[in-house]
Structure 1
Amino acid sequence: MHGRRLAMTDNIVCLTAQPHAGALDHLESWTTTHGIGLTVREVGEDVREADFEGGRETLGISVGGDGTFLEGIQAFAPRRVPLLGINTGTLAFLARIDPRDIDSALTETLRGRATVYDRQQFSVTTAGLDAVGINDVTIEPQPPERPVDRKICRLHVFVDEEYVGQYDGSGLAINTPTGSTGIALSAGGPIHYPNDNFTLQITPLHTHRMGVRPMVVSESTEITVVPDSEVRLSVDGGRYQTVVDRDEPVQVTGSDYRAHVVRTSYDDSFMGALAAKLGWGLRTVDSEPPEGYLPEREPPEDFLANACRVAREAAISAGEPVRELHGQVEQVEAKSSKADIVTEADHQSDRIIATAIENEFPTHGIRSEESGRRGGDSPYTWVVDPIDGTGNFAHGNPNYSIAIALLDGENTPVVGVVYAPETEEMFYAIRDDGAYRNGTPIAPTTRDRLDESMLLSGYDPDGEFLQAFYQETRGVRRLGSAALHLCFVAAGSADALWEYDTNPWDVAAGICILREAGGRATDADGVEYALSLADERERPRMPLLASNGPLHDALLDHLADENL
């Protein structure tokens, strides 16, 4: 989940172990001031589905120590709700915000400036137990009835059906990176930096074989443990536990869903927590790196670079719910239900983008296909298409995009961002700074002959462009998203594009990207294409011919010959 999406928060569900009056008072005051709903549940009390319903964008908060935070993971992760931890406990690696910083941390979160990290979870299955955890699953011998009886167990371990061997000793832990600072660390395992780290580790507990060491595997690995005797199994320090009989397999693998953990600039750092709470030998609380070791800070972004970054972040944030809803469209048969999903996707995308822009550039105007025009007293206007290729989206086709452009005045695009949620391709450009796809510079082709070129066609009501160019070229394709069409020409995936009529939100971002890549965009007569923000009913038809550049004159000549 991208942090910009948190700016849409209109509902908070707080889980607390022992109500901390100061923290809860701060939280209640802040939510009241910002008009955000608040529900407080104590650990052990059911977190109800009604707490999340009504189409609200929800943030989970834990008030307590790491135990309360883990209870929050159990409640919020299955619902894909991000969790922020207020630390009112003592030894905490997960809940890291001091109660005195609640107002500041939540304000930063509501502005979309917090970061959301994914945390690996695991699922464990055996007879009588099917559970999900985030720290570790431990398998240990049952305490003997008599002190003189055997106190160890033998566990046979398989990784993706490959036999690893037998572990003789006090058992083993299978832990995530989050769980690496607990039982696994006590048993001599390594510490994993947990943010966006998707692995599992098999850690022997007091093994009787000197050569046995922790083993790290991927999140998708199927780990199977078969005990030679009855053993105890515990998940996340006893949140789930059971007894496993001899020869009963225990299967562990990465969970189908991850936990979303919110971090703000007010959180204690992970390395700082290690130093302060474990007395970590590599550094003390006030240790500083040698002078000149840390890289120099990046110079402050200029205005257009900042605007492009904000637009990219907004597009990624909007792409998350859009992609989720696209998956629902693919499963729905009824036309009316699909229409509702498409409308919801358009609305959510538009709302996330507009909120991100308004947070960062409150004086700028916004022109959106979904919500119309919002005024501003700045010469800059954002032009937004929350979903370009709505027809494709409605039919479960992946060729749709989110397009965001910044205009200087009425018709000069200076920033363009086009994001394809299904492929996670990010095209972007800044005036006089080139065009990029996922950070790599792009450029159009250099073909100048029609018979060597492949063309794209957008809206072509009578099929005239297709008829005129199909036999003259290597083909004419129509993918259904004008913004993506322009990006594909800019990146050399096609040589030219024809659109019978255009709207500014369809093409503003793509034209910025195409021109910065070195391509060309005109009308049917060869006049440089000029955007217009005039009302659709007041604008004349606005055809668009876009190309790699060298092919443009041949296209114009053939258009003239065909009287298009």
Structure 2
Amino acid sequence: MQGRRLATTDEVIAIVSPDSDGALAQLEAWCTDRGLGLSTVDVGEDIEDVYDENRATLGVTLGGDGTYLEGIKTFAPRNVALLGIDLGTLSFLARVDPDDMEAALDEAIQGRAIVDSRQQLAIDAPGIETTGINDVMIEHVPPESPIGRKVTTLDVTIEDEYVGEFEGTGLAVSTPTGSTGVSLSANGPLHYPTNNYALQLIPLQTHSLSVRPIVCAPGCDICVRPSGPTNLTVDGGRVHTVLDAGEDVRVTGAETRAHIVRTSYGYGFFTAITKKLGWSIRADDADPPPGTGVSARRPARPVSMVERARTIAIEAAHSAAEPLQELHGRVEDVTYKSDKSDLVTEADHQADRIITTVIANEFPTHAIVSEESDRRPGRPDEPSASASTDEGDAADGASQNERYTWVIDPLDGTGNFAHGNPNYAVSIALVRNSTPVMGVVHVPETGETFSAIEGDGAFSNGTPLGTTDRTRLDESMLLSGYDPDGSFLTNFYQKTRGVRRLGCAALNLCYLASGSADAIWEYDTYPWDVAAGIVIASEAGAKLTDATGDPYSFTLERNGRTPLLGSNGPLHESLIEHLTLTNSDE
């Protein structure tokens, strides 16, 4: 999950522990001041009565790690991100102090937090089918007599390959989030938990010096078979059962991952183990030496407003892609066929809201034009909370002589989307006065992100783009947009290696830029269809004109039909010649 998506938060659901009245009162006041809904449930209670899947929800826990584990169990299956407020005494997971709660929450709903993904476990055993974020412990049942047998024997296989026989007090199967202390006690490694999806098998008090922890991929099927009665506990006892001899426990990585909100106000993993476990390699809260850490990643030169705008646009596009992908997977579901148009409308609006909210937060002086929402004028007297690093620039780059407008199509290729076709895209552009100067086009189903800044070249996922150099029509591949009477297809199909229609103008321009097509034709264009793509195509070396060969004139206003012809350059005159013949035949 992208942190920018949290900018559209409507509702906070808080899971509260006993003795959290002070923090809860503080949270209630914060939600009231910001016009957000707040629902609270006690630890262990279901949130079904207060959770609405149609509202953008942020999960919060007020308590220690026990409360936090309840939060993960509750929110992860619902794809809700979680922020933990640390009211405990030995918390490794909930890392925001109560004094920093309001600042951390503000950072989250402004879309400036990071959302980490954490691996969970899926556990299947007799009488149990559950998930856990930390570990599953399979341990010998303590004997009734103090001189009784205190060890157990466990046979372990991974992906049907027999690992061997573990003899000791038991075995832990852990995610990178859990069992740091247990791993260390078995001479195992520290696992940095953020976006780390490995699983680890940790022998407990083994009787052999040669037995060490084993790390495997999250998709591995781990089977543990006890030779006698065995205790099975998940996440410190949140789920518990007793297994008999021969009853298999199967563990693998859960399909659903937990989404953890990380802000600049929460202390990090290594700070946590320094505080809690006496990690002696560094002092508590030690600053990194010069030239390392965060300071080393700071850009060596000032970042212009337009460069910053591209970064924000990419983050917004990736965030908007998440609900689009979620809903795209449902459009062909039989249960939604009767109201497919409503589903597509929901997809449009969710993506639009994420993008416009993120941009309005970061660039309040800029206007916003979107296909799916009313035009938003900029607020020139209100500076942005996140200042540009350009010396002398206004906070978001606007000046008295320049007006900036964002032009957005949150879902270009709606028809494709509605039929489960992957050829749809998110298109975001920044226009200075009347000229597009920055464009981002993101393709959710392929993960491609095309971007360009005027004068700085065009890129796809960081790789520079360039058009083809073909000079002959009969060697060329063309892409066509809307072709109402089929005349473009009729006149060019036999003269080229083919004419294809993707149904997405933004993608047409990006594929021209990347060399996947030699030329494109759009019978009619809207500003949100092409604003980002024309920056990307132009910066890749494409030539863009109208049907007569005059330079393509971008405008934010609709003044009749606006055709667009794009090519690699060498083909342009031949294309114009044949287009002229096509138009004369109409």
Q: TM-score range by the shorter chain?
A: over 0.9
What pairs with 1:153-302 in structure 2 (closer than 5 Å)?
A: 153-294=152-293, 295=296, 297-298=298-299, 299-302=301-304
Q: Which moved more, 1:254-263 or 1:329-338?
A: 329-338
- What one-letter code is carried by the residue in structure 2 that aligns with 1:112? G
Counterpart of 1:406 (choices 409, 417, 430) is: 430
After superposition, give the CA deviation of every residue in 1:267-309 in whole Å (9 maximum; x if it has no partner).
0111111111211021121544444445263244210001011
* TM-aligned CA distance change 1:485 to 1:296, over 3 Å: closer
* TM-aligned CA distance change 1:286 to 1:74, over 3 Å: closer
- Determine the structure 2 residue equivalent to 1:61: 60
Separation in 2 of the partners of 1:22 and 1:561? 77
Counterpart of 1:323 (choices 322, 325, 328) is: 325
Shift of 1:546: 0.8
What pairs with 1:2-401 in structure 2 (closer than 5 Å)?
A: 2-47=2-47, 49-53=48-52, 55-294=54-293, 295=296, 297-298=298-299, 299-332=301-334, 335-376=337-378, 377=380, 379-401=403-425
Shift of 1:145: 2.7
* TM-aligned CA distance change 1:121 to 1:296, over 3 Å: closer
Separation in 1 of the partners of 2:290 and 2:111? 33
Shift of 1:164: 0.8
Q: Which moved more, 1:339-348 or 1:366-375?
A: 366-375
- Determine the structure 2 residue equivalent to 1:504: 527
Separation in 1 of the partners of 2:19 and 2:514? 56
After superposition, give the CA deviation of every residue in 1:161-213 in whole Å (9 maximum; x if it has no partner).
01111101111100000004243333332110000001100011111111111
Residue pair 2:451, 2:459 contacting (<8 A) in 1 also: yes
- What one-letter code is carried by the residue in structure 2 that aligns with 1:558? H
Residue pair 2:330, 2:336 contacting (<8 A) in 1 also: no
Residue pair 1:180, 1:192 contacting (<8 A) in 2 also: no
After superposition, give the CA deviation of every residue in 1:78-115 in whole Å (9 maximum; x if it has no partner).
11110001011111111111111111111111110000
Q: Pairwise CA RMSD of aligned residues? A: 1.4
Separation in 1 of the partners of 2:289 and 2:81? 36
* TM-aligned CA distance change 1:357 to 1:293, over 3 Å: closer
Shift of 1:68: 0.9
Shift of 1:478: 0.6
Shift of 1:54: 6.1
Separation in 1 of the partners of 2:549 and 2:337? 42
Residue pair 2:366, 2:406 contacting (<8 A) in 1 also: yes
Shift of 1:241: 0.9
- Determine the structure 1 residue equivalent to 2:540: 517
Residue pair 1:180, 1:189 contacting (<8 A) in 2 also: no
- What one-letter code is carried by the residue in structure 1 that aligns with 2:518? D
Partner SS for 1:489: helix
- Determine the structure 1 residue equivalent to 2:394: none
Separation in 2 of the partners of 1:455 and 1:350? 30
Q: Which moved more, 1:336-345 or 1:297-306?
A: 297-306
Separation in 2 of the partners of 1:475 and 1:542? 24
- Determine the structure 1 residue equivalent to 2:386: none
Asked if 1:542 is matched to 2:526, the reply is no
Shift of 1:329: 0.5
- Determine the structure 2 residue equivalent to 1:476: 499
Partner SS for 2:329: helix
Residue pair 1:448, 1:554 contacting (<8 A) in 2 also: no
Separation in 2 of the partners of 1:55 and 1:361? 27
Separation in 1 of the partners of 2:26 and 2:145? 54
Separation in 1 of the partners of 2:455 and 2:141? 70
Residue pair 1:180, 1:190 contacting (<8 A) in 2 also: no
Asked if 1:416 is matched to 2:439, the reply is yes
What stretches of structure 1 of length at least 5 have no aligned partner? Answer: none
Separation in 1 of the partners of 2:297 and 2:451? 26
Separation in 1 of the partners of 2:236 and 2:64? 14
Shift of 1:533: 1.4
Separation in 1 of the partners of 2:488 and 2:354? 37
What pairs with 1:482-497 in structure 2 (closer than 5 Å)?
A: 482-497=505-520
- What one-letter code is carried by the residue in structure 2 that aligns with 1:346? D
Shift of 1:549: 1.7
Partner SS for 1:179: coil
After superposition, give the CA deviation of every residue in 1:488-531 in whole Å (9 maximum; x if it has no partner).
11011111111111101001100010001111111111111111
- What one-letter code is carried by the residue in structure 2 that aligns with 1:387? L
- What one-letter code is carried by the residue in structure 1 that aligns with 2:5? R
Residue pair 2:331, 2:337 contacting (<8 A) in 1 also: no
Residue pair 2:417, 2:424 contacting (<8 A) in 1 also: yes
- What one-letter code is carried by the residue in structure 1 that aligns with 2:16? T
Shift of 1:244: 1.3
Partner SS for 1:315: helix
Shift of 1:37: 0.5
* TM-aligned CA distance change 1:208 to 1:108, over 3 Å: same
Residue pair 1:180, 1:191 contacting (<8 A) in 2 also: no
Partner SS for 1:156: strand
Residue pair 2:186, 2:213 contacting (<8 A) in 1 also: no
Q: Which moved more, 1:285-294 or 1:274-283?
A: 285-294
* TM-aligned CA distance change 1:103 to 1:502, over 3 Å: same
Partner SS for 1:241: strand
Q: Which moved more, 1:270-279 or 1:109-118?
A: 270-279
* TM-aligned CA distance change 1:292 to 1:422, over 3 Å: closer
Residue pair 2:405, 2:433 contacting (<8 A) in 1 also: yes
Q: Which moved more, 1:171-180 or 1:553-562?
A: 553-562
- Determine the structure 1 residue equivalent to 2:572: 552
- What one-letter code is carried by the residue in structure 1 that aligns with 2:40? V
Shift of 1:336: 4.0
Residue pair 1:22, 1:99 contacting (<8 A) in 2 also: no
Separation in 2 of the partners of 1:356 and 1:420? 19
Q: Please give the TM-score of this superposition, normalised by the length of structure 2.
A: 0.93
Residue pair 1:332, 1:338 contacting (<8 A) in 2 also: no
* TM-aligned CA distance change 1:69 to 1:301, over 3 Å: same
- Determine the structure 2 residue equivalent to 1:443: 466
Residue pair 1:177, 1:193 contacting (<8 A) in 2 also: yes
* TM-aligned CA distance change 1:291 to 1:427, over 3 Å: closer
Q: Please give the TM-score of this superposition, normalised by the length of structure 1.
A: 0.97
- What one-letter code is carried by the residue in structure 1 that aligns with 2:45? E
Q: Which moved more, 1:254-263 or 1:88-97?
A: 88-97
Residue pair 1:204, 1:213 contacting (<8 A) in 2 also: yes
Separation in 2 of the partners of 1:332 and 1:27? 42
Partner SS for 1:310: helix
What stretches of structure 2 of length at least 5 have no aligned partner? Answer: 381-397
Shift of 1:133: 0.1
Partner SS for 1:510: helix
* TM-aligned CA distance change 1:450 to 1:317, over 3 Å: same
Residue pair 1:10, 1:36 contacting (<8 A) in 2 also: yes
Shift of 1:22: 2.4
